[in-house]
């Protein structure tokens, strides 16, 4: 934990996959000051995207969320963006 002051994180192009994304996302729930999160190029897939939606309920300050090249499709990205606007 201990990431309360973290405001920006770029872990793009690290091939995290769904399992790595799940672990990272679980640890980011306490990073409530996070405003920039780049997860592009990690192939998180639908499973990772589902966990991300769960994390966004706690991290309502995020103004940039990079999700390109993750195999989740445009509709899932749109749903995450919509959910984040509603949480803010």
Locus of tokens 């445009």: 74
Rounded mean pLDDT, 29-42: 94
Q: Does residue 88 have a pLDDT over 50?
A: no
* CB-CB contact of 45 with 22 (8 Å): no
Would you state the pLDDT for residue 73?
78
CA angle 34, 40, 46 (to 5 degrees): 95
Q: Does residue 81 have a pLDDT over 80?
A: no
Count of H helices and E strands in the chain? 3, 3
Would you state the pLDDT for residue 86?
47
Q: Does residue 84 have a pLDDT over 60?
A: no
Find all residues with CB under 8 Å of 5, minimum gap 6, and list them: 33
Rounded mean pLDDT, 65-88: 70
Alpha helices in 1-88 (DSSP H): 17-28, 45-56, 73-87
Rounded mean pLDDT, 75-82: 64
């Amino acid at each position: 934990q201990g990431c309360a002051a973290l405001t920006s994180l770029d872990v793009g192009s690290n091939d995290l996959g769904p399992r790595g994304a799940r672990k990272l996302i679980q640890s980011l729930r306490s990073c409530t000051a996070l405003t920039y999160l780049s997860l592009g190029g990690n192939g998180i897939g639908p499973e990772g995207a589902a966990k991300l939606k769960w994390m966004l309920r706690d991290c309502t300050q995020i103004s940039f969320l990079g999700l390109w090249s993750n195999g989740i499709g445009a509709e899932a990205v749109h749903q995450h963006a919509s959910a984040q606007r509603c949480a803010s």
